[in-house]
Structure 1
Amino acid sequence: MLKGLYLSLFLGPMVPVPAPKSVVDALVSAQVNTGGERSGFQLVFSMNKKSDLYRKLLPAGALDPMVTRVILVCTLGGTPNVLIDGIVTRHEVAPSNQAGQSLLTLTGEDLTVLMDVVQFPMLRYPCMPAIARLNLIVAKYAIFGIAPLIIPPLFDDVPLPTDKIPTQTGSDLAYIKKLASDFGYIFYLVPGPVPGVSVFYFGPDVRVPVPQPALNVNMDANTNVESLSFSLDGLAKKVVIMTIMDPITGKIPIPIPVPNISLLRPPLGARLTAPAKVEFPPDGGNKNSIEAIALALAKTGATGEAVTGTGTLNVLRYGRVLNAFQLVGVRGASSTYDGLYYVRTVSHSIKHGEYKQNFTLSRDGLISQTPVVPS
């Protein structure tokens, strides 16, 4: 690998162990996609008829889908970064007549794929608020090193059994998605900080206040990205008008405009983009006051961010691994687009002698709110 950068690969069933040296040496490339609700990976190995992959691991079922757990760790400057902790969902073998050119490809997803395997016909949660239901669901996966970080909703209704019993149908992951949509929350799984441990986050889309080192563009010797471009979408933002029934008669519809600025996610730009669309959600009239407030907050969290950025960087030039779900500064992109951004997705591309990242940024508003972007 590159000087100062080391990759560690762990393979195994429930508790993976360090992969044999012959397997690590056979690794041709690694692709890891992070950001969003689920992360994925793809590892490509070269093999021949005498390699351990060909003679031992594949015949023994050590790399079978839904059985093999993979942990990939990148150590840069003495700091370990767990890039992925996931399950192999598919493997492919491409034989070749040329010696050493046969390829084995392992494709998989993070540990949330385990939450989408069992389809429950019906599970009931009497007298349990959403926070209790979520902790009960995630506790089933503690054996895989998943620790919950669940933020209670601001307005959570505890239904009486005589009125309604919360019911889950389908997989755990589908039910978690439904709860996240109801409260305007997000969820994702962050591997680390050590191999074999992951943190499951469920809560508001809060931007971590401590930004990562700035991305510099068009700054001569100080430039640390290979490419970076921005776009402004005039149709990204909208005004949401909810219609609820009056609490006395329950028959008179009351339209309520929902602010398109979330209290938990203040804009990162000084000049905000005006909304161009108006939306009337049809699902507010059949809810009680607590549920209606929670839905309104969910709609504010769903408002789009008009400014997006895409780019590529070399990790050694940047000096560290850029992480999703955190803030990062941008410098040198003009006063209009400089400032802090939210790192929405990161794609890691690792080959012999090369480690690059493709990333997407987003924020609401133009012109930086901070006079100086932290370096």
Structure 2
Amino acid sequence: MLKGIYLTLLIGPGVPIPAPQVLVDALSNIQVTNSKDRSGFQISFLTGKNSSIVTTMLPAGFFDPITTRVILIATLNGIPNVIMDGLVTNHQLGPSNEPGKSTLTITGEDLSLAMDIIDMIIPYPAMPEVGIINLILAKYAFLGIVPLVIPPIISLIQSPTETWRTQPKMTDRAYIKQLASKCGYLFFVEAGPFPGQSIAYFGPDVNVPVPQPALTVNMDGATNVESISFSLDGLAKKVRIYTIMDPITKKIPIPIPVPNINLFKPPMGARPTPPSKIEFATDVAQADATEAAQGILGFLLNNSAAVSGSGSLDVLRYQYILRSRMMVGVRGAGITYDGMYFVDSVTHNIKPGEYKQSFTLSRDGVISNTPFVLT
């Protein structure tokens, strides 16, 4: 594709195989988005009315939704990076009057889509969250999904003689996300690190503490981004006041102010953004101590960051494939916004002879609290 950059496309019903040469020659554009919630892809091919893509592969079901699996591997300087492993959700054919200008576009999501197809009602008596999540994810091991489940800090186990948890007619993905939200956790499926393997992560919003090469702007020959900008949201931070009843009489209200601090994400800035809003929680007043503590902890683990950034880069100049859910440094933006950031999402835009990425960053606080960043 480019000097030092190679793209591998595996595709097919059930088990993906190396793409036929006719697909490789017809490849027009690839877009892959990796974010904290879920990932998706879109691939476009140029076809003609006599192309085997239209006359044979399409009617034979080679691109059928749900059954067709797609794996994309970008190899940079000999290091493979699995940027997508997912299932096709739909395809679109756009015929054209010009020869060879018709397009076939396939769109899909990561493998968590397989968990979002069937609504189920399943009881889980006397089981903690960890047991429930592992039991659900075991059904998808045939897809190469490996569970990585972090036990909640506060786990709630109900006595089966009183009540028990039940998956209330919803899909597995929706139910896992519901449990994650109550614990203050995230749930997502990330492709890799090997082709055909994905990691199902259930745990706190923690970025891999391995800094990627710095994004450099306004530094002449060292500049490696095409554009980058930052903003500070003064209304992002808040204090939430939880009111619980005293555990003895259950009649005396006790207010508990909870600051807007994420326990698993350090501010990354020497001057944190002060809270500007105060709100009152109403969902834990009648809950017992364990449920109230779990709700408060969930708020602490899901706070929003006040500082955000976005931009784009050329992978050939950056000499690295920027990955989401990791950390990256910024330099050249000035004393206020230089320093380390969390990478929230990355979009890969790939065309023949071109590989670019757009990204979003976040952190809490301004002015870097680190003396340097990885170059």
- Which category of TM-score, normalised to the shorter sequence, fits these structures? over 0.9
Contact 1:238 1:304 in 2 (8 A): no
RMSD: 1.0
Q: Does residue 238 of structure 1 match 2:249?
A: no
Aligned to 2:250: 250
Equivalent position SS for 1:260:
coil
SS of the aligned residue for 1:140 comes to helix
Query: How many angstroms apart in 1 are the aligned matches of 2:64 and 2:338?
Result: 47
Q: Distance in 2 between matches of 1:52 and 1:192?
A: 31
> Letter of the aligned partner of 1:132 in structure 2?
G
CA contact (8 A) 1:343 1:361 kept: yes
Q: Is the 8 A contact 2:110 2:190 kept in 1?
A: no
Letter in 2 for 1:41: F
User: What letter is aligned with 2:42?
Assistant: Q
2:102 aligned with 1:106, yes or no? Answer: no
Match of residue 315 from structure 1: 315
Paired residues of 1:328 and 1:343 also in contact (CA < 8 A): yes
Which stretch shows the higher mean deviation, 341-350 or 208-217? Answer: 208-217
- Relative to the length of structure 2, the TM-score reads 0.98
Query: 1:272 and 2:272 equivalent?
Result: yes
Q: Which residue of 2 aligns with 1:139?
A: 138
SS at match of 2:24: helix
Inter-partner Cα distance in structure 1 for 2:96 and 2:370: 56
In the other structure, the counterpart of 2:288 is 288
Contact conserved, 1:124 with 1:168, CA < 8 A, in 2? yes
The secondary structure found in structure 2 opposite 1:127 is: coil
1:8 is displaced (CA, Å) by 0.8
Output the amino acid matched with 1:326: M
Please list, as runs of the form range in 1=range in 2, the aligned pairs for 1:1-375 lying within 5 A after superposition.
1-120=1-120, 122-169=121-168, 170-375=170-375
Range moving further from structure 2, 246-255 or 349-358: 246-255
Displacement of 1:327 in angstroms is: 0.3
- Do the aligned residues in 1 keep the contact of 2:269 with 2:363 (CA within 8 Å)? yes
How much does 1:179 deviate?
A: 0.9
Q: 1:228 is paired with a residue of what secondary structure?
A: strand
CA distance in 2, matches of 1:374, 1:253: 50
Mind listing any 5+ residue stretches in structure 1 that lack a counterpart? none
What is the CA deviation profile of residues 273-332 of structure 1, one whole-angstrom value per residue up to 9, with x for unaligned ones? 111111212111232222211111111122210000000000010001100000000011
Give ranges in structure 2 of 5+ residues lacking alignment: none
Q: Following superposition, which runs of at least 4 residues in structure 1 exceed 3 angstroms of deviation?
A: none
Aligned residues: 374
Instruction: Provide Cα deviations, 1:202-227, integer angstroms capped at 9, x if missing partner.
Output: 11112322211110011110000000
Q: Deviations over 1:122-179 (max 9, x none)?
A: 2110010001100111111111000011110111011111222011121111111111
Counterpart-to-counterpart distance in 1, 2:32 and 2:209: 25
Q: Secondary structure at the match of 2:336?
A: helix
Identity %: 57
Paired with 2:291 and 2:5, the residues of 1 have a C-alpha distance of: 50
User: How far apart, CA to CA, are the structure 2 residues paired with 1:363 and 1:90?
Assistant: 36
Q: Secondary structure at the match of 2:309?
A: strand
Q: What whole-Å deviation, never above 9, does each CA across 1:20-61 have from its counterpart, x for those lacking one? A: 111111110001111021111100001113322112110101
Q: Which moved more, 1:49-58 or 1:322-331?
A: 49-58
Q: How far apart are residue 199 of structure 1 and its match? A: 0.5
Post-superposition Cα deviations, 1:101-135, rounded to whole Å, max 9, x if no partner, equal: 11000011111111111011x21100100011001
1:247 is paired with a residue whose SS is coil
